[in-house]
Amino acid sequence: MTESAPTRTLPLVFAAPKKGKPPTHWADLGVDERKEAVVAAGQPAFRASQLSKHWFERFSHDPADWTDLPAALRQDFAAEFFPPLLQEVKAQTCDNGDTEKLLWRLHDGALVESVLMKYPNRTTMCISSQAGCGMACPFCATGKGGLQRNMSTAEIVSQVADGMRRLAVRDGGRVNNVVFMGMGEPLANYKAVLGAVRVMTTPAPDGLGMSARGITVSTVGLVPAINKMTEEGIPVTLALSLHAPDDELRDEIVPINTRWKVGEAVDAAWEYAKRTKRRVSIEYAMMKDINDQAYRADMLASVLKRRGDWGWVHVNLIPLNDVPGSRFTRSRDEDMAEFVRRLEAKGVPTTIRDTRGDEIDAACGQLAATGEKA
């Protein structure tokens, strides 16, 4: 006799996912859709808030812990509404355990990474929005592999929920800031990214209850998408990866510049700052003898200055992180110091980014999940 499959108490609500698409997950649904899904499963609507409380507030992904739900239904609820989206492949730590890089396998085998960075008074999580990236910036490790696919809202949110769970279990901490500076170009996956921002900023128990101000969306400068984000009126921080003040150089190191020029990208960022009252961050990775000349610091200051006073912007210099096989290398210390001095002399607020995680290839631009190799 063959054993029959365990009987399901709950009817199926979602159709099987389309080829290549991740399964639908609770975090993909709006608050009303979650209630409708529970009702469609023949359950009272209030179960939706019970489930949300477990996932978004307690970060509990184990149905055995959902003791306020009928025991017979817990497994079915989990299987239907909470399909596992991220499978941990590897976790690596450095900086005395304060930096942790996580490698995930998605349902279709695609690999993505996120990085948890603990600071004395906050924890920042750097997350991915796409498997791979299609922007092809030649100094970036992710850019070398091309784009595999967009991540879904729930895949994006799951990275943060997982970070929250790790910290909660460890010492009751929370992820305070999220930066879309992992793999992918967030504004090329606009809908899922904005959906994820909404879920992160929705108060618990329906969302992760984070502050929009703690979320940074970093972009190569997809101008129409920046403009669209300006209209959303969500006060997330915008970071523009400029890396060069002139079109000639930027065409080469940020290839999307051949489509939207420095002037257009900076204008869109300025408009964003004006409308949201959020200071825009200009990312500038310091590359030896490429973009780090003193005259380029002066050019950068004037490109930003002509948009008005300095309240709207600050420059974040990133010492370039080594990418194996790359012809781009990190600027000399003295050139970086001169670059900062020039910007500051012109009154441009400037900071130098720390290089957290570089020894485990977890720093900016080093994420290139190609397998399980150490």
Q: Which residues are catalytic?
A: 113, 364
Q: Which stretch binds ligand SAH (CB under 6 A): 22-30, 196-204, 293-301, 319-327?
A: 319-327
Instruction: Evaluate whether 94 touches 360 at the Cβ level (below 8 Å).
Output: yes
Q: Where are the beta strands (DSSP E) in 64-121?
A: 87-94, 99-105, 111-119
Q: Can you tell me which of 157, 181, 215, 340 binds ligand SAH, judged by CB under 6 A?
A: 181
* Residue 218 interacts with ligand SAH (CB under 6 A): yes or no: yes
* Residue 199 interacts with ligand SAH (CB under 6 A): yes or no: no
Provide the 3-class DSSP secondary structure of residue 101: strand
The H or E element spanning position 201 is helix 190-201
Q: Which stretch binds ligand SAH (CB under 6 A): 73-81, 133-141, 265-273, 336-344?
A: 133-141
* Residue 148 interacts with ligand SAH (CB under 6 A): yes or no: no
* Residue 102 interacts with ligand SAH (CB under 6 A): yes or no: no
- C-alpha distances in Å from residue 117, one per residue of 154, 190, 240, 261, 371: 22, 25, 21, 33, 22
Q: Can you tell me which of 29, 229, 320, 369 binds ligand SAH, judged by CB under 6 A?
A: 320
Which residues are bridge partners to 93 per DSSP? 100
Give, as one character, the DSSP assignment of residue 235.
Answer: -
Q: Can you tell me which of 115, 193, 285, 301 binds ligand SAH, judged by CB under 6 A?
A: 285
Measure the CA–CA gap between 301 and 178, rounded to whole angstroms. Answer: 28
Count of residues that interact with ligand SAH, criterion CB under 6 A: 18
Residue nearest to ligand SAH (CB): 365
* Residue 113 interacts with ligand SAH (CB under 6 A): yes or no: no
* Residue 139 interacts with ligand SAH (CB under 6 A): yes or no: yes
Q: Which stretch binds ligand SAH (CB under 6 A): 108-116, 190-198, 301-309, 317-325?
A: 317-325
* Residue 350 interacts with ligand SAH (CB under 6 A): yes or no: no
Least distance from ligand SAH to the Cβ atom of residue 219, Å: 5
- C-alpha distances in Å from residue 150, one per residue of 133, 144, 155, 192, 296: 9, 16, 10, 8, 35
Measure the CA–CA gap between 204 and 57, rounded to whole angstroms. Answer: 6
DSSP calls for 115-132:
EEEEETTEEEEE--SEEE
> Tokens representing 372?
């399980």
> Tokens representing 7?
């009987």
* Residue 177 interacts with ligand SAH (CB under 6 A): yes or no: no
* Residue 178 interacts with ligand SAH (CB under 6 A): yes or no: no
The H or E element spanning position 237 is strand 237-241
* Residue 220 interacts with ligand SAH (CB under 6 A): yes or no: yes
Would you say how long the chain is, in residues? 374
Least distance from ligand SAH to the Cβ atom of residue 157, Å: 18
**Applying CB under 6 A, which residues contact ligand SAH?**
135, 137, 139-140, 181, 185, 218-220, 241, 283, 285, 318, 320-321, 323, 364-365
